Amino acid sequence: MRRTNNIILETAIKVLLFFIVLYSVYIFTAGHYYPGGGFIGGLMTAGAIVLLLITYDIKTVEEFLPVNYRILTAIGLLFAIGTSAGSLLFDVPFLTHAFGDVQLPILGELSLHTATLFDLGVYFVVVGVTMTIIQTIGEDE
């Protein structure tokens, strides 16, 4: 197998990856008050993984990220359906969300909203779908 010496790229990725993932998580969590949300956050995380795929090969990336992206998509869908169908249990219209201030031990008082869980579902689906597309095309002979 042809192996070029990508030392600069590999070193740069070690720093960059951290920032990209952090920024995508920031954008995901800021979605309620600022531009951002599950879709763009998921795309950016997928972008980070694509950067890994460019630096290393598919097998190496699979080794340190052993994720089945189709299952990840399905899990994301389950999150989205679950949080919306939770309203069925309380006999309120579908997709009605609940929110409130919660007192947590370390983090203090937090304002939490079940729409975030829905957004987490979106996030997983976007990561799963993007990576499935890129991996299946990449593995194709």
115-139 vs 38-55: helix axis angle to the nearest 10?
A: 30
Q: What 8-state DSSP symbol labels residue 32?
A: G
Asked whether position 87 contacts other proteins by CB under 8 A, the answer is: yes
Q: Which is nearer to other proteins, 45 or 84 (CB)?
A: 84
Stretch that binds other proteins, among 2-10, 25-33, 39-47, 86-94 (CB under 8 A): 86-94
Two tokens, residue 11: 């070193």
Asked whether position 95 contacts other proteins by CB under 8 A, the answer is: yes
- Distance of CA 10 to CAs 15, 17, 57, 135, Å? 9, 10, 12, 20
Among 1, 5, 59, 94, binds other proteins (CB under 8 A): 94
For the bound state, the minimum distance from the C-beta of residue 77 to other proteins, rounded and expressed in Å, comes to 5
Give the total of residues touching other proteins (CB under 8 A).
17
The interface with other proteins within residues 33-72 (CB under 8 A) comprises: 70-71
For the bound state, the minimum distance from the C-beta of residue 25 to other proteins, rounded and expressed in Å, comes to 25
Q: Which is nearer to other proteins, 64 or 94 (CB)?
A: 94
Q: Distance between CA 45 and CA 55 in Å, rounded?
A: 16
Q: Is 95 left (phi over 0), alpha (psi -120 to 50) or beta?
A: left
Two tokens, residue 48: 């980070």
Q: Which residues bind other proteins (CB under 8 A)?
A: 70-71, 73-74, 77-78, 81, 85, 87-88, 91-97
